[in-house]
Each structure stands twice: as C-alpha cells, then as structure tokens.
C-alpha cells in the first residue's frame, strides 16, 4: 500500500531563509501527491498537487515541490520564508482514501 514519510516533525527557519520540508513516498509511483497546510486551529487546505503532468509543481503562497522518481521524493520548498508561513504541513498520497504523513511543523523566526 502507498505511504509517505515526512522527515523532521519540526523545522525552524529565519524569516527570509529557504524552507525545505521533506516527503518521501513508498516505492510504487503514485498518480497523485499532495501537500496540505494547516494553520493553527483550522482545517487543512491544499497547497499544491502533483498529477504527473509536470515534475515541478507550483502552489499557493510561493511554495513549490519537485517530484523526483529516482529519489522517491516530493519535497516542498520556498525560497524565502515569511512569518505567515508558520503552520503544519502534511504530505499525502491517494488512492481512494488519502494517506497522510505525520506532519512537519514549521516555525519562522524574525
């Protein structure tokens, strides 16, 4: 069965620094991969999704993720962190029931 692993339950960066949140999927290539973001006391909202049309996927708020089959990875990046990016980020994979990683909490320091 498909699964995802998020490396690092907490990531801290300074404002303006590069954000890198890691996600690896299990060996079989999934048709879709997602990143969701959860702001405090809110539900999850879609950040971006991979649909095999392009390996580099751009999402909302300046985030992007690159699908790398050779590394079975779908890491999330943003060149310059903002304070408003502080949230929890979840990588997820279908099929019929979405399976989530355990989440990475991003802290951004001024």
Partner 1 sequence: NAGVTQTPKFQVLKTGQSMTLQCAQDMNHNSMYWYRQDPGMGLRLIYYSASEGTTDKGEVPNGYNVSRLNKREFSLRLESAAPSQTSVYFCASKGGSPLSGNTIYFGEGSWLTVV
| Paired strand residues for 61 | none
**40 contacts partner 1 (rule: CB under 8 A):** no
| Residue 33 token pair | 């991969």
| Residue 71 token pair | 């590394």
**17 contacts partner 1 (rule: CB under 8 A):** no
Site string for partner 1, 55-74 (x = CB under 8 A): --------------------
| Residue listed under structure tokens 């779908």 | 74
**DSSP state letters, 64-90:** EEEEEGGGTEEEEEESS--GGG-EEEE
What are residue 8's phi and psi, to 5 degrees? 95, 105
**35 contacts partner 1 (rule: CB under 8 A):** no
Residue 64 Cβ, how far from partner 1 at the closest point, in Å? 17
Nearer to partner 1, 15 or 22 (CB): 22
Contacts with partner 1, residue ranges (CB under 8 A):
6, 9, 31-32, 34, 36, 41-46, 49, 51, 90, 92, 94-103
């Amino acid at each position: 069965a498909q699964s995802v692993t998020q490396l690092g339950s907490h990531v801290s960066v300074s404002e303006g620094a590069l954000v890198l949140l890691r996600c690896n999927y299990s060996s079989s290539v999934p048709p879709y991969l997602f990143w969701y973001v959860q702001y405090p006391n809110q539900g999850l909202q879609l950040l971006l999704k991979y649909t095999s049309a392009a390996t580099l996927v751009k999402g909302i708020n300046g985030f992007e993720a690159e699908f790398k089959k050779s590394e079975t990875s779908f890491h999330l990046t943003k060149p310059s962190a903002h304070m408003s990016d502080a949230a929890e980020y979840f990588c997820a994979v279908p099929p019929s029931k979405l399976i989530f990683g355990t989440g990475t909490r991003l802290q951004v320091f001024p």
